[in-house]
Every structure is written in C-alpha cells, then in structure tokens.
Amino acid sequence: MLNTSNHMAAKTAELSDSAVPWLETQAEVTSCRYQFARLKTLTLGIAAKSNRFLIYFTYYAHARTFSGEFISPVAMEQGKAFPVFYNPLNPHENRRSESESARSGLTGGTPLFALGIAGSLVISLLYLAMMHGCN
C-alpha cells in the first residue's frame, strides 16, 4: 500500500500546471479595503500603483473552503460572486490571488533608487575618463 501511495505522489508531481486543466468555481467577496498611497522607502517615492482596493475572497473546492486576495482598481461589494480558476492538484492555488497578480506584472515599475545608482555610475565613469585624459 505504501508503494502505491508513493507511486501516486510521484505521478502527481510529474504533472505540470499546463498538463492539468484548472477548474472554475464561484468565489465570494468577503471584504474590500481601500489602500491609500504608501511611501516606498527604498525607491524614495510613492508606490507606482497607489490608491487601489484589496479584495479578500473565499471559494469552495474539493469539499473545503479556500481563501485568497487580489488588488483591483475598482471596489467590489461584500457578497458579490465572481468566477475563479483553481488548480485541482493544489486547490489553494487560484488565478485571482496576489501571487498571480505579481507574476502577470501588475506590480512593479522602475525604482527611482535604481535610476539614481545607474546615473551616478555613468557620471563617475565620465569623471574618471576626463581625469585620465588630463594626464
């Protein structure tokens, strides 16, 4: 019996997300909170995507209730139903969660801090080139 369960676990691990079709179910909004613009310390500026709504939701899959969250540009009423896709091999993975938003590029932008470092490197190299040319 132990051999069979190890074999099934190995088979499940072999299957990738693209090989298994994700299933659709209905999710329900449990909470919607407004996110104010925040200062980002490391980038010396305001968050690129400020003033958004953080939507919390639950969905039912495989006789269990799962939850997730995502960021939306518009508010959603508590109790509103919407479709969500989930991975049948790992039902807590869904296509509306924050981690999926991050993978699809909804977060990010060029940080001001990185531009400052790149600019100072260029200026330093130009200064060194000019000083070397003077000798």
pLDDT tens-digit readout, 25-38: 999 999 999 987 66
pLDDT tens-digit readout, 86-121: 999 999 999 987 544 444 444 444 566 677 777 888
CB 97: neighbour CB atoms within 10 A? 19
The per-residue DSSP string of 46-114 comes to E-SS-SEEEEEEEEEETTEEEEEEEEESS---TT-EEEEEEETTEEEEETTSHHHHHHTT-S----HHH
pLDDT tens-digit readout, 16-25: 556 889 999 9
pLDDT band at 69 (very low <50, low <70, confident <90, very high): very high
Domain boundaries of the chain, sorted by first residue: 20-108
- HSE-up of residue 102 (Cα within 13 Å, Cβ side): 4
Judge whether 59 and 96 are in contact, CB under 8 Å: no
